[in-house]
Chains A and B, each alone.
Chain A
């Protein structure tokens, strides 16, 4: 139920946006809860974008994991 899926914002029109879940098909979601711009990644839950996703942070998570693991190699 609390599943939320990342999607890329392709078009914004008021409180609605067309997003791409990576399937190449655009779907309409409600963006009242976030300030989404074209090109942003949003997390979509039950037809509503609930949070912006930061691609940079996503990449940083990966490098953080690698760093911590590397730092502890002794």
Chain B
């Protein structure tokens, strides 16, 4: 069993419809760093109950090995929200992805219910994370208070399609119309030490378009991106995988920083450039991503 951490890097997160037994069974093999079992948009109303039960049994029955398991429940404004959490929390996923988060209250309501369920089921308190999905203009306006809402929060993401609909605009492949929303989510996430996940690219046949969008997302500062088809995973992973050169440089920086620390030095220089705490933090992140990509990284 993998060690549970609130900050495991996740480059790719594969959505799996919760009512599809074959995909629930095989989803771990495609190389994504996380899977998101969906009880929300991918599931029609008549399938809500069966998907919830199926996901619960999948969580209990299958060993998914080293990947993060996230369940997207239905929003707080629906009749399924409580039932979803009541069945899913006892099965102890790594995180709940909470859609339609408009304000800090939405996060707090989920937090409260999850805490109650953790206690009732003898689970360690506060281990199940929340990823908040911002899908409306109002949510973007409230992004800072949402990010600060709860220590249970581990990540922020946005729902590109819903947000475009709420804004009354058409979502394009390039996604520039969501630039402000994406940036505000990234910055709020970083401010509160949360992960930030880019929205999905919906055209599964256009892997080049996906790559272009993922490159922009990575440049904006997202820590990973959701996928809706296994074929998207290698593309996303490669965008979020550092170049060997970067990895070598990062290793050098981290090594130098450790040595400096042991010798009680503050700011140091590597290859003639000043290295301070943020540079070291960047370098550590690069090494983490490299490890995730299966690159050989010295234990530092």
Do chains A and B stick together as partners?
no
Q: Which residues of B does A touch, CB under 8 Å?
A: none
